[in-house]
Structure 1
Amino acid sequence: MSISAPHRSIATAVALWGAMVVSAHAEPVPDVTFPSIDGGEIATKDWRGHPVLVVNTASLCGFAGQLEDMQALHEELGPKGLIVLAVPSNDFNQELEDAATVKEYCSLEYGVTLPMTDIVSVAKGDVHPFYQWLKASEGFVPKWNFYKVLIDANGEVVETYSSVTAPDAQALRRDIDAAF
């Protein structure tokens, strides 16, 4: 069955309008900073030109084994430009008492050397500005630990993923490769 010319024009117009709506909705990551677990700051402006995987983590969560997969991504794709950022949070009552303890635990237990922020709020209370932006621009709020946000090299959100999507999942890996 073929589509008549008037219907093709309508279908094309709808497709173009949909693309414009998506483009108008996408807002690049704002210039904000995270406190680094090592002291100093991690600035989102330094992400420009790099794909970034941001993961809210918690040391005592059942998904904490994903830190090993995050570290593997960091080691494999970090030299190519991927930034993997762990954002420890106690919003779901599964993080250790302070940043020094978190850093030591993640290093000893999972071999983590990838960038980590200090403990911040991602979903409750005084939410970090990055996560405020995600809620306002994407409607995204982590519902648990190890929710993931993939940002492309242009600073736009590619996709968000729940805890059950492991950092080495095929779909996530495909999206990461396309985000460069």
Structure 2
Amino acid sequence: MNIYEFEVKTEKGEPYSLEQYKGKVLLVVNTATKCGLTGQFEELEELYKKYKDQGFEILGFPSNQFKQELPNATDAAEACRLIYGVTFPMHELVKVNGEDAHPLFKYLTEQTKGLLGKNVKWNFTKFLIDREGNVVKRFAPTDKPSKFESEIVKYL
């Protein structure tokens, strides 16, 4: 099993397969627009612009599981674009922990362990996926994207 077997929904609720990213390096991030870590949006966007032409994609998944997100995906995505200048794809509002967690996040957390074991500790937990769809690294919420740029480059 790999990440390409999952279906996700855009912020507008339109379903699609992650298979469309086959052959690309992905960074999957659970986001929140009212979190103290929102400064990371700027760094994420810088990385996205710098490496997207080399096959790098960032996929943002807003989550209100930690009570720091707007009530719906459309509003969250709009805030990301207007306030933080995000141009990478944003998705539906998801749960990242527990029985109701989105299947993608269940898979991501099973493949990598963090400080709290399998659970996502907080907003802005980041998962790096190689070109074959394998989860290769998990970064903590406080890990600034600029600090692990070399990890991304290694897989490009």
TM-score by length of 2: 0.90
Q: Which has the larger radius of gyration?
A: 1
CA distance in 2, matches of 1:135, 1:81: 24
Give yes or no for contact 1:42–1:117 (8 Å, CA) kept in 2: no
- The alpha carbon displacement at 1:53 in A equals 0.5
Structure-1 separation of matches of 2:79 and 2:111: 34
Query: Does 2:69 match 1:95?
Result: yes
* In structure 1, distance between residues paired with 2:123 and 2:109: 16
CA RMSD of aligned residues (A): 1.5
How far apart, in 1, do the equivalents of 2:111 and 2:54 lie? 28
Contact 2:40-2:144 within 8 A present in 1 as well = yes
Give 2:121's match in structure 1, choosing from 126, 130, 143: 143
Deviates more, 1:33-42 or 1:77-86: 33-42
2:8 partner SS = strand
Using the size of structure 1 for normalisation, the TM-score is 0.79
What is the match of residue 145 of structure 2? Answer: 167
Instruction: Please state which structure has a larger fraction of its residues in helix.
Output: 1
Structure 1's unaligned 5+ residue stretches are: 1-26
In 2, Cα distance between the equivalents of 1:141 and 1:131? 9
Counterpart of 2:79 in 1: which secondary structure?
helix
Q: Deviations over 1:118-173 (max 9, x none)?
A: 1111113511111111233334331100001001111111210101111111xx11
Number of equivalent positions: 152
* CA distance in 1: counterparts of 2:4 and 2:108, whole angstroms: 10
Identical counterparts, % of pairs: 34
Task: State the partner residue of 1:152.
Answer: 130
Contact preservation (8 Å) 1:134, 1:141: no
Shift of 1:42: 4.2
Give matches, 1:13-162, under 5 Å: 28-139=2-113, 140-162=118-140
Any unmatched runs of 5+ in structure 2? none
Runs of 4+ in 1 over 4 A off after TM superposition: none
Pair 1:87–1:112, CA change in 2 (3 A): same
